[in-house]
């Protein structure tokens, strides 16, 4: 009798366990995959009715103005696409944003969390090369494509040996392109022969663009009469400016990625009697910079993307500014374009599978966005695009002209 009872109890336990296993299966599907194997984490999102796109940027801190502007642009793109019927015959998009704080470690952690916990199929951001360089290796490892916005260093899409990061893309020109435009414009268009170069020590973008500016300026017969650096946290530049003043340059190339610090640099330079032209790169690309400088940048110039010089881009920037009560920041154009480029890839691939999206991004011939026309090089994942020159008048920088890297 005991044997029969034991057999019956055993059978009951087997059926109970089987039932539990059947109930647990759906809950286990979205569980985070191991860091080295992203495919299981991303696969459920590819088949879901809601397709998740990640966004990582500096949503807090001193440069949060840019990160949030990009997020707002991406949000408006998702809203418009969903209102028009979504993608792949009716699936809705969801933007999942996380704060990378403009720091490499935080941005890498945010990307991993978006992939493993949220099941995103692609990610947009950041706007810093120093963040996207380590993020590229994670994207390759976890097989989810990422698109840097203003991340212009060469190593964002290739490693130090020149090998392509297959899952890393960008929507901006690279440092060598931008630096060459600046050096060429200063010599060939403005006729300068003596320049000072100011960079931020250890800042990937600042030092990289600065090196290419220097090379182009010297190649065209110019001389760098002074080279100075600051630390990332510095806000007093008077010691470096004193050395620059002694060298008496005609132009100072100021390679900082913080509009408040660029404004401070300009005001301190003018207070010290330095009245030469200041010239910057896309790290100056903020509508708040001119007003913050309080006239110290009058007539000064910077080189960046086409941006708000396009009527449709300006119209969109005004919409974002009105909806979110912010100034017009060009990063919102990257957010909008990033979402539309991912959607373009999804529709061409006929799938929201991350690898299919990657393949479609790489095979992009030309993408027409608010930031300009991107002609993609599949071998490097770098787009070719025109640059614009902006000049300060009063409390704003105004579009001056368009130039190419090779003149």
For residues 176 and 154, is the Cβ–Cβ distance under 8 A? yes
User: Rounded to the nearest 5°, which phi and psi values hold at 208?
Assistant: -70, -50
What average pLDDT does this structure show over 376-403? Answer: 92
Closest CA to 340 of 46, 12, 80: 80
User: Rounded to the nearest 5°, which phi and psi values hold at 258?
Assistant: -140, 115
Residue 30's pLDDT band (cuts 50, 70, 90): very low
Q: Give the model's pLDDT for residue 47.
A: 57
Q: Give the model's pLDDT for residue 296.
A: 98
For residues 302 and 309, is the Cβ–Cβ distance under 8 A? no
| Cα–Cα distance measured from residue 267 to residue 253, given in angstroms and rounded to the nearest whole number | 15
Residue 246's pLDDT band (cuts 50, 70, 90): very high
User: Rounded to the nearest 5°, which phi and psi values hold at 53?
Assistant: -115, 130
Largest CA distance in the chain: 106
341 C-beta neighbours (distance < 10 Å), count: 24
Q: Give the model's pLDDT for residue 404.
A: 62
Record the tokens describing residue 90, joined without a space. Answer: 């009716």
User: Rounded to the nearest 5°, which phi and psi values hold at 349?
Assistant: -80, -20
**pLDDT beyond 80 at 4:** no
Which residue has better confidence, 60 or 16? 60
Closest CA to 69 of 399, 327, 310, 288: 327
Model confidence pLDDT, tens digit, residues 92-102: 999 999 999 99
Query: Across the chain, what does the average pLDDT equal?
Result: 89
For residues 176 and 160, is the Cβ–Cβ distance under 8 A? no
Q: Is the peptide bond before 278 cis (omega within 30 degrees of 0)?
A: no
Strand, helix or coil for residue 194 = strand
Model confidence pLDDT, tens digit, residues 130-171: 999 999 999 999 999 999 999 989 999 999 999 999 999 999
Model confidence pLDDT, tens digit, residues 39-59: 444 444 445 689 999 999 999
How far does CA 314 lie from the centroid of its chain?
20
Please report which helix (H) or strand (E) contains residue 94, including its range.
strand 92-99
Closest CA to 253 of 225, 281, 234: 281
Record the tokens describing residue 300, joined without a space. Answer: 């000064």
pTM: 0.74
Q: Give the model's pLDDT for residue 15.
A: 36
Q: Which of 104-108, 157-161, 257-261 is least confident?
A: 257-261
In terms of DSSP bridges, do strands 146-148 and 194-200 run parallel, antiparallel, or are they unpaired? unpaired
**pLDDT beyond 80 at 38:** no
Q: Give the model's pLDDT for residue 373.
A: 86
- What separation in angstroms does the CA of 27 have from each of 20, 23, 31, 44? 11, 8, 8, 12
Mind giving me the DSSP string for 135-172? HHHHHHHHT--EEESS---GGGTB-TTS-B-TTEEESS
The yes/no answer on whether domain 39-172+311-370 falls in CATH 3.20.20.70 is no
| Cα–Cα distance measured from residue 340 to residue 103, given in angstroms and rounded to the nearest whole number | 26
Measured CA angle at 367 (ends 71, 84), to 5 deg? 60
CATH class of the domain defined by 176-304+388-403: alpha beta
- What is the edge-to-edge ordering of all strands in the sheet holding 387-393? 223-230, 194-200, 251-255, 277-280, 301-304, 387-393, 396-403
Strand, helix or coil for residue 64 = helix
**What is the DSSP secondary structure assignment for residue 288, as one 8-state letter?**
T
Rounded to the nearest 10 degrees, what angle do helices 354-362 and 331-349 cross at?
110
User: Could you give the percent of the chain with pLDDT greater than 70?
Assistant: 87
For residues 336 and 77, is the Cβ–Cβ distance under 8 A? yes
- What is the edge-to-edge ordering of all strands in the sheet holding 366-369? 366-369, 372-377, 382-384
Residues of the chain with CATH 3.40.50.2300: 39-172+311-370, 176-304+388-403
Measured CA angle at 149 (ends 144, 152), to 5 deg? 105
């Amino acid at each position: 009798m005991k044997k029969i009872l034991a057999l019956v109890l055993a059978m009951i336990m087997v059926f109970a366990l089987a039932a539990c296993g059947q109930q647990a299966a759906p809950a286990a599907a979205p569980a985070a995959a191991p860091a080295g194997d992203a495919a299981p984490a991303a696969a459920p999102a590819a088949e879901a009715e809601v397709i998740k796109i990640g966004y990582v940027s500096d949503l807090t801190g001193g440069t949060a103005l840019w990160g949030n502007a990009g997020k707002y642009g991406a949000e408006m793109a998702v809203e418009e696409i969903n209102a028009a019927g979504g993608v792949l015959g009716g699936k809705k998009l969801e933007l999942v944003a996380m704060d990378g704080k403009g720091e490499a470690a935080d941005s890498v952690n945010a990307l991993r969390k978006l992939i493993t916990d949220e099941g995103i199929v692609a990610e947009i951001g950041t706007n810093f090369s120093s963040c996207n360089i380590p993020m590229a290796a994670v994207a390759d490892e976890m097989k989810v494509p990422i698109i840097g916005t203003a991340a212009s260093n060469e190593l964002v899409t290739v490693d130090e040996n020149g090998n392509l990061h297959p899952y890393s893309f960008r929507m901006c020109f690279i440092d060598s392109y931008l630096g060459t435009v600046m050096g060429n414009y200063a010599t060939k268009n403005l006729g300068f022969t003596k320049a000072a170069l100011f960079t931020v020590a250890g800042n990937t973008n600042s030092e990289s663009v600065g090196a290419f500016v220097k090379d182009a300026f010297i190649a065209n017969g110019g001389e760098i009469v002074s080279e100075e650096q600051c630390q990332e946290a510095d806000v007093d530049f008077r010691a470096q400016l004193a050395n620059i003043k002694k060298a008496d340059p005609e132009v100072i190339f100021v390679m900082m990625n913080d509009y408040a610090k660029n404004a401070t640099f300009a005001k301190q330079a003018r207070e010290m009697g330095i009245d030469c032209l200041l010239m910057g790169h896309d790290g100056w690309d903020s509508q708040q910079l001119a007003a913050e400088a309080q006239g110290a940048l009058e007539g000064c110039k910077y080189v960046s993307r086409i941006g708000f010089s396009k009527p449709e881009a300006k119209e969109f920037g005004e919409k974002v500014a009105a909806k979110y009560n912010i100034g017009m920041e060009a990063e919102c154009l990257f957010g909008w374009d990033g979402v539309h480029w991912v959607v373009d890839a999804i529709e061409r691939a006929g799938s929201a599978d991350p690898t299919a999206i990657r393949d479609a991004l790489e095979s992009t011939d030309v993408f027409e966005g608010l930031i300009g026309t991107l002609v993609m090089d599949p071998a490097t994942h770098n787009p070719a695009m025109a640059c614009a020159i902006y000049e300060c008048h009063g409390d704003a920088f105004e579009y001056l002209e368009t130039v190419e890297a090779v003149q």
